[in-house]
Chain A
Amino acid sequence: MVNHISNEKVIEVENLTKKFGDFTAVKGISFHVNKGEIFGFLGANGAGKTTAMKMLIGISNPSSGNANVAGFDVHTQSDEVKKSIGYMSQKFSMYDDLTVQENITFFGGIYGLSRKQIKKKTAELIEELQLGDITKSRVGSLPLGWKQKLAFSVSLLHEPKIVFLDEPTGGVDPITRRQFWELIYTEADKGTTIFVTTHYMDEAEYCDRVSIMVDGVIEALDTPKNLKKQFDVDSMNEVFLKLARNIE
C-alpha cells in the first residue's frame, strides 16, 4: 500500500442502486475507498457515473442499497455528508460574474466558515496559487485552467475529508492538466481522499485505484498496474477500450 493511504474506509458502498422508472441507471454497485486514496471513477458517457456520484454526495436518494460517506449514511444523514465533502464539477464551479475574492468569500460563507477563517483561507489561497493581481478579476475572464485550479481550492475551503472531482480537467491544456494533478497529489498526501472522474486515460494512471463502470455495473476495479496485467495490455486506454468492446 502506498504511504499516503491509510486502512480507514471513508466511503463504503453496498449494492447501491438507482432506478428512474423502468430504467436502472446504477445496478447494485459495491466498493470502498480508503482515507487518502486517489480513486479514479471511470466509465463511458451514460454508464451511470454521474448518477452514482450524485448519490454519494447526498443529492440523489438511492432506490436501494447503502452508502456510507465520511461516516454518514447517505439515506438518513445527507446534510452531514454534504458538510464533510467538497465537490467540483467541470460544468459549474464558480460564479463568473463575481471576482476571485468574492467567490472565495461566498463559498466560505456557504460552508459556514467565520469571517476570520475566510480571511485566513483567502490569504493562504492567494499565496499557494500565486493569485496575486488576479484576485480582483472576475472569474469569467480567467482562462479555463485557472478557473479549475481555483475551483479545486475553493472546494477544499472547509477542509473536507473527501473531495469529489467530476471531470476537473476536461478541455484544459496539457501543462495545466499536470499542474492540476500536482495539486491533487499534495492534497492526497495531507490525507484528503480524492474521488475523481476523467476521460483522459493517462490520468487514470495517476490514481491509486481505478474502477470502470459499464452499463450501470462496475466491471473492473484495481490498481492501474493490476488492471493492465489482468487485460494483458500496456495502457489504461487499451483496458478501457477492451472493456467497453467486450460488452457490445
Chain B
Amino acid sequence: MGKILTVLLIELLILIVSVFALKIESTVGFLLLLVSIVFAIYYGAKNEKIRYRLQDAFSSSRRFALILGIILIFIFPLFFMDSPYWVFVITIGVIYIILAIGLNMMLGSLDLVNLGFAAFFGIGAYTVGMITAKYGLHLPYLIVLLLAGIVAMIFGLLLCLPTMGMKGYYFSLTTIAFGLAVELTINNLEWTGGPGGIKNIPHISLFGLNLGDSYTVFGYDLPFQLNYFYFALVIMLLVMLVAWLIHNSRIGLSWNAIKEDDIAARAQGINIKVYRIYAFAIGSFIAGVAGAIFAPLMGYIAPTNFTYAHSITMVAMVILGGIDNIMGIALGAFLLSIAPEKFRAFSDYRMLIYALIIILMVIYRPQGLIPKKIRKYDFIGGAKDE
C-alpha cells in the first residue's frame, strides 16, 4: 500500500511541477524552479536510500504507475483552458514525441544518425495537404493518415536502398543531402505550392466529429486545440506501444546486435539488409503519421516547417532523452519542444541557452536523462524493459 502511495505522490508531484513550470510567467521564477528541479533530481539520484525506495515502488506496481501516468497525461492540458496557445504548444510536443520515437528506430536502435528525418515529417504533412486542400478529395481521415504514412515510407525506402552499405558520417552526410533535396524540391515545385506552401488545410473529421470545432462539456467551452491534443495523444500511445513491442522482440534485439558489431551480427546469421529496411520502413511511416496530424492542426504548411534545423532538433531530442528508451525519448522530445517557448523571455539569447543545455547534457550525462535498460527475460512473457 505504501508503495502505491509513493507512486501516486511522485506522479502527482511531477504533474503539479510541470503545470507550474509552464504557467509561471516570471523568468526569474522559472529559472529558480528549474534549478531546484535539477538539484532535487541530483540529490535524489545520489541518495541510495531514496533511489532504492523509488525504484522498488515503481517496479513493484508497474501497471498502476503506467495507468495513473496515462490518466494524468489526459488531465494535464485541462490546466491550460484559459490559454489555448499552451494547449497548442503541448500538442506540438506530443507530435514531436511521435517523431522522436520513429527516429530512434534508426538513430537509437541501429546507430544510423539520420540528419534528414524532418523530410519524412514534411512528406507526410504535404501528402495530407495535397489530398485534402489542393485536390479537395473527401477521403475518410484515417485513410489519409495511412496514405501519409505509406508515402513517407516509400521515400524512406528510397533513401534506404542507396545508403545500404553506409555507416557513420557517410550515412549522415547522405541524409543531410536527402533532407535538403526534399526541402528544396517542395520549395521550388509549383505543384506543391512553392515557398507559399499549402493553405486552408481542412480540420480532421473523425467519426462525425470535427476536431476544428470547440465542444462544450459541463458548461465549459473547450478550445479546439484540445481535440487535437487528445487525438495526437492516442496516436502517440499507440506508437509507443508498437515501438515497445518491437524493441522487445527479436527485431529490436537484432537491431541492437547490428549496432554493436555488424560483422559479428552477420556471422551470427543476421541479414542486416532486411533489418535496415525494417528500421527505415517503420521509422519513416511513423514520421509520416506525425505529419498527418501536424498539417490539419496548423491549417497551413510551408517548407520552413521541415528544415534541417528541425531534423537536428529531433536528433537532439533522442540523445537528450535517452537512446533506445521510450520513456526517455518522450521526455527529451517534450522538454525540447517546450523549452524554446519558455525561453522566449530571453529573446536574443533564447537559442544560446537552448544550445547550452544540450552541450551540458552531452558532457555530464551522455547516456541521456533516462538511459537504456537491459532487457529482462522472465519467461513466459518475453522481454520487458520498463
Do A and B truly interact? Answer: no
